[in-house]
Amino acid sequence: MDERDKFNDTYWMKQALAEAAKGGWNVHPNPMVGAVIVKNGHILGSGYHHGAGQPHAEVEALKDATAHHHDVTGATIYVTLEPCNHFGRTPPCTEAIMAAKLARCVVGTVDTDARVRGTGIERLRQAGIVVDVGFLEDELHALNAAFFKRTSTGLPFVTAKWAMSLDGHIATRTHHARWITGDKARQDVHLARAAHDAIMVGTQTIIDDNPQLNVRLDGNDRQPMRVILDRTQRIPIEAHVFDTHAQKTVLFTTYTTDVQKYLNRGVDVEFIQQEDEKLPLENILRTLVAKYNITTLYVEGGAKLHGAFFDAHFVDAIDVYIAPKIIGGALAPCAVSGHGISTMDLAQVASFDSPILLGQDIKLHGIIKNSYQI
């Protein structure tokens, strides 16, 4: 390491970012946050948020410094997200920073949670602590994309998933789709489901495939909520998705009659106003956030539902599994239908990670550019 790096704010924020990433899924739906305390070019303490209800990163870093018998008076704390200034499950981090007599706080990015949103920064400045804001913000927003999406828009972070043939079909002309991809790809889908709060599908997908929409992994004890869109209640009550013994199911429908059969099976029924014979997606998404605390949503198609999401610009990321098969035929469904675009300059563009080979199938994961603004 160049000795000059020891006095570079960006360098130390990278160390805090590395701490934040240690939190992983354990902190969900809270953001991953890391902190390091630095004095004279040396780290005195470091820490990260371990999970909801546990001490925040700033407190963990102070505890680490104390455990190593370091005096943090006059030191600088680098924290990836603005320190909180309210009582929740834990006390305000601003109070801990002030009590420790730190001289400076370097904040990676402002917290978009309405309970914080600048108040932590203002409180520290009022106490005479120097606060500088805005370091590695692109990386920090990517790390906590779902948190920033929910807190800044009131909408969940949406990932659209589909499996398709080389020629872009998700089923044959008879709607037969089992199986396009192989075992390894289907196993990877279960891993992706386990990393989301909820899975959403439309009516035709369930009628065609009768999926369970659960996570079938050894050692997994967490099941995402199922979200079913069935405007006119065409799905048979015997469908797997209405078995709620081990997994919650929420049905969105416009019909207010004959719902007792769903309630008898433990299904939550949400009535929503119809818009031009369609379910209004924005209202549904806001209900999922406000009532069911959904932060991450996995949309598993088919083409009509994917099309509605892309038409409304509600897709933030995509998981595409490509099988080395040719289906052919003009009547075979494609991955995304909907209204679509008129000219190529209106296309939504994905920024892809490196492709992953799963047996003979290829997985592409990408972020849709400019899906929302913080």
Residues acting as catalytic residues: 58
In the chain, % helix, strand, coil (3-state, to 5) comes to 30, 20, 45
Half-sphere exposure of 241 toward its Cβ, with a 13 Å CA cutoff?
Answer: 27
Residues 224 and 198: their CA atoms lie apart, in Å, by: 5
Alpha carbon of residue 343 to chain centroid: 30
Sign of CA dihedral 26, 27, 31, 37: negative
What is the spatial distance between Cα 125 and Cα 11, in angstroms, rounded to a whole number?
Answer: 23
Torsions phi, psi for 286 (to 5 deg): -65, -35
**Distance (Å, rounded) from C-alpha 269 to C-alpha 261?**
11
Question: What is the residue type of 132?
Answer: D
Q: CA-CA distance, 87 to 32, in Å (whole number)?
A: 19
Q: What are phi and psi of 225, to 5 degrees?
A: -70, 140
Residues contacting residue 231 through CB under 8 Å, at least 6 positions apart: 203, 253, 254, 255, 274, 277, 278, 279
Kindly give the residue spans of alpha helices, DSSP state H, lying in 48-182.
57-67, 93-99, 119-126, 137-143, 145-153
